[in-house]
Structure formats: C-alpha cells, structure tokens
C-alpha cells in the first residue's frame, strides 16, 4: 500500500480528482496519509477534512525565516511517513533538502506541456496567459518527478489540450484541468502505486500500454 501525502495551496480540484479516483478504484494500492497546505484558507483543506483525511497547515507566516519554514515543512511531511509526495497545485518552492530526502518520490502536476510555459513565474493562471499571448494551438498538462530545478525533473505523463480561438485564461485553465490534469495525475499515482514506473536518468519508462490521448 503506497502511502501518499498530497500538498496543496488553493482550490484543491486535483486533490478532489485523486480522492475520487481512489474511491472509484482508478487508483489502487494506495492510501492518502496526509494533506498539507501552506495556505490556511485553502479550500483544499476543507475538501480533505470533509473526506476525513488528516489535514495540516504549515504556513510561511508562522515562521521567522525560510530555513526554519523549510525544516518544519520537511519534518511535518516525514511525520506521515509517505512513500510518495504529490504536489497538487502546491505553490511553494520545494527545498533541496526535501528533494534529497525523497529522491524520485515527489511528483508535481504542471498545467502546460513541459518544457513550454514552465519554470520561474509560470504557475496557475499565468501559464495559460502565457499560452494565449504566444498563440500556441496546443497546450496541455504534465506530471513529472521533482528534482532540484524548477519543473525540470523526469516527465511521467503528458496530455495535450487544444487551444480555442475564443479561449481566455480562465476557460483554458478549466479545460486543461478537466481534459488533462484530473486524468493524468491520478493515473501517475496509480502507475507508481503498482510498480509500473521506472526512471533512467531523465527518461521515465511505463510498464503498461498507455494511450495518453485516450486517458
Ligand atoms: C492546477 O492547475 C495546477 O496544475 C497548478 O495549480 C492549479 C491548482 O489547482 N499548478 C501549478 O501551476 C504548479 N506550477 P487546484 O488547487 O484546483 O488543484
């Protein structure tokens, strides 16, 4: 049974997708052991509590400096003894010490096709604003392992989403969530929970015949 900690900052729709997939059996062999937020007002925390999951907030405002905050963040996660940490809209820079404590055991969902529209400054709605400003016709979402860089770890799953002429950033954000994020994030967890993911350098291998367009 894979012990999963989920880190959130906002609405928690990806957390909801994970909880729903676990309830319906789309994610097997795993258990959410902690939901952690940096934001005391995150609706994601309410979702977790409603589902009866252990929910905790580690707020930057309660810590005098970044080092102290990073230490408490890591200790709080370690206290839940997770096998996998899922960043589901967690808008905090992951400290190097956490990456080293959980090598290839932290995954992140990013709302674009990495390596486009990722890295510093690209998070949440800003990603979709960048997509529209550049005029690309296809965007999507990516699940990747977290390394010490920004959105630079090995890519596990990606799913494309068409950009429409009448899209604004919000409509595109919602469609990327519905068509891509809420599908590939639970799928990645299920693959990891069932031992189907291998990592060789920056390349991830999947021991399943997977059609990402059909996910
Ligand atoms: C999601 O779109 C996620 O991909 C994005 O934040 C949103 C959180 O929504 N994450 C990033 O931009 C990370 N760089 P949610 O709280 O409803 O799941």
Give 3's strand partners.
Answer: 31
Q: Phi and psi for 144 in degrees, rounded to 5? A: -140, 160
pLDDT in tens, 136-165: 999 999 999 999 999 999 999 999 999 999
Cβ atoms 61, 36 nearer than 8 A: no
Q: How far apart are CA 215 and CA 210, in angstroms?
A: 8
Of 136, 138, 132, 133, nearest to 160 by C-alpha is 138
Of 134, 23, 30, 150, nearest to 142 by C-alpha is 150
Q: So what's the pLDDT on residue 133? A: 98
Of 98, 106, 111, 172, nearest to 141 by C-alpha is 111
Mean pLDDT of 101-112: 98
Mean pLDDT of 104-127: 97
Q: So what's the pLDDT on residue 212? A: 86
Q: How far apart are CA 135 and CA 138, in angstroms?
A: 9
Mean pLDDT of 101-122: 97
Mean pLDDT of 4-14: 98
**Residues within 6 Å of ligand 1 by CB:** 8, 10-14, 44, 88-89, 109-111, 123-124, 127, 177, 181
Residue 208 neighbours by CB distance under 10 Å: 10
- Residues known to be catalytic: 110
In this structure, the residue with its CA closest to atom 11 of ligand 1 is 123
Q: How far apart are CA 108 and CA 202, in angstroms?
A: 15
Spatial CB neighbours of 41, under 8 Å, sequence gap ≥ 6: none
Vertex 42: Cα angle to 129 and 68 (nearest 5): 100
Mean pLDDT of 119-129: 97
- Please report the atom of ligand 1 found closest to the CA of residue 42: 16
Vertex 124: Cα angle to 121 and 126 (nearest 5): 50
Q: Is the pLDDT of residue 183 over 90?
A: yes
Q: How confident is the model at residue 181 (pLDDT cuts 50, 70, 90)?
A: very high
Distance 89 CA to ligand 1 centre (A): 3
Distance 125 CA to ligand 1 centre (A): 9
Mean pLDDT of 10-26: 98
pLDDT in tens, 184-213: 999 999 999 999 999 999 999 999 999 988
Mean of the per-residue pLDDT values of the chain:
97
In this structure, the residue with its CA closest to atom 8 of ligand 1 is 89
pLDDT in tens, 34-75: 999 999 999 999 999 999 999 999 999 999 999 999 999 999
Q: How far apart are CA 92 and CA 99, in angstroms?
A: 13
- Please report the atom of ligand 1 found closest to the CA of residue 43: 16
Cβ atoms 116, 161 nearer than 8 A: no
Q: How confident is the model at residue 14 (pLDDT cuts 50, 70, 90)?
A: very high
Question: Is the overall model pTM greater than 0.95, yes or no?
Answer: yes
Q: Is the pLDDT of residue 127 over 90?
A: yes
Share of the chain above pLDDT 90, in %: 98
């Amino acid at each position: 049974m894979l012990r999963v900690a989920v880190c959130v900052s906002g609405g928690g729709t990806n957390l909801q997708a994970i909880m729903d997939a676990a309830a319906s059996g789309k994610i097997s062999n795993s258990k959410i052991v902690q939901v952690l937020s940096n934001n005391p007002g995150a609706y994601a925390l309410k979702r977790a509590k409603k589902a009866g999951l252990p929910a905790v907030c580690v707020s930057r405002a309660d810590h005098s400096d970044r080092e102290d905050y990073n230490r408490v963040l890591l200790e709080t996660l370690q206290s839940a003894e997770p096998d996998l940490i899922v960043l589901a809209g967690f808008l905090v820079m992951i400290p190097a010490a956490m990456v080293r404590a959980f090598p290839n055991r932290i995954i992140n969902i990013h709302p674009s096709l990495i390596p486009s529209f990722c890295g510093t400054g690209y998070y949440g709605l800003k990603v979709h604003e960048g997509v529209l400003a550049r005029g690309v016709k296809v965007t999507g979402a990516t699940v990747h392992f977290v390394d010490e860089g920004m959105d630079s770890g090995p890519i596990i799953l990606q799913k494309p989403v068409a950009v429409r002429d009448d899209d604004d950033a919000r409509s595109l954000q919602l469609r990327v969530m519905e068509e891509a994020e809420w599908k590939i994030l639970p799928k990645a967890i299920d693959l990891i929970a069932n031992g189907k993911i291998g990592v060789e350098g920056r390349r991830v291998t999947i021991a399943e015949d997977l059609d990402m367009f059909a996910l």
